[in-house]
Structure 1
Amino acid sequence: MSRHEIGVDLVDIDRIVALLGRFPDRFRARVLTDAEARYCGGKVERIAGRWAAKEAVSKVLGLGVRGVGWREIEVLPNWAGAPQVRLHRRAAARAAALGLEDVTVSISHERRMAVAVAVAHLGTGS
């Protein structure tokens, strides 16, 4: 029988607007990978969606954002445009230690909120 881990996060887009207004370059450099920054451009909804997705994935890892760096969780669109998660360094090591496979995420935004749900399958070897 397989098991799953689930993480959810909800972000107020106005909070991201405020952070970008106060620390635009620092915020992007700290939170987004170069590829994510190119994808998001100036679209605050995309940036907020990435923030929510990274928070949701960190919850799947059982760490919260204190256990891994923001840039260690990368969320980019796949060939069909759906968000795809790539884990790096400590995030990848934590997922492997937990036996997590196939971390996927869904992102949505409506008006001033962005939400992300992350799901990871626990392999049969764990």
Structure 2
Amino acid sequence: MIGIDVISVSRIENMINKFGDKALKRYLNDNEIKLIKSPHTAAGFWAAKEAFSKALGTGIGEECSFLDIEIIKDKKGKPCFSSSTLEKFNLKQADVSISHDGGFAIAAVIIMK
């Protein structure tokens, strides 16, 4: 199953400027916040979590919240989903690709049940 999401980096940047860390804590855990180096990274993580929820077929809501999905980075710095996220949703595998261009972040997620 596949999910895709796109978000304006300025939308996330405005949230951060207005609410600070409170904005990030709305959709990221403490370990994820440590990985955020810029609004571009934060927007990419938002898009990745939205795309993950779309691949599940639930969207963000009661069945799958932003904080149910954890993004980590592998040895090479590539974003991926934590093993606890895969276990929570009984998935064999979940792959993510995040790109940025023209003030937007886009993420594509493919999951295998």
Please say whether Structure 1 and Structure 2 have the same fold, judged by a TM-score greater than 0.5: yes
For structure 1, the residue ranges without an aligned partner over 5 or more in a row are none
Are the counterparts in 2 of residues 6 and 117 from structure 1 also a CA contact under 8 Å? Answer: yes
Other-structure match for 1:120: 111
Runs of 4 or more consecutive aligned structure 1 residues displaced over 4 Å after TM superposition: none
Kindly indicate which of the two structures has a greater share of residues assigned to strand: 1
Between the aligned residues of both structures, percent identity stands at: 32
Secondary structure in structure 1 of the residue aligned to 2:82: strand
Task: Please show how residues 5-84 of structure 1 align to structure 2 within 5 Å.
Answer: 5-41=1-37, 43-66=38-61, 67-84=63-80
Tell me which structure has the larger Cα radius of gyration: 1
CA distance in 1, matches of 2:73, 2:79: 4
- The one-letter amino acid paired with 1:57 is F
TM-score normalised by L of structure 2: 0.89
For structure 2, the residue ranges without an aligned partner over 5 or more in a row are none
- What is the deviation of 1:65? 0.7
Number of equivalent positions: 112
Q: Deviations over 1:47-97 (max 9, x none)?
A: 0000000000001111111132212111121011111112657x844x22x
CA distance in 2, matches of 1:56, 1:92: 18
CA-atom RMSD, angstroms?
1.7
CA distance in 2, matches of 1:87, 1:58: 16
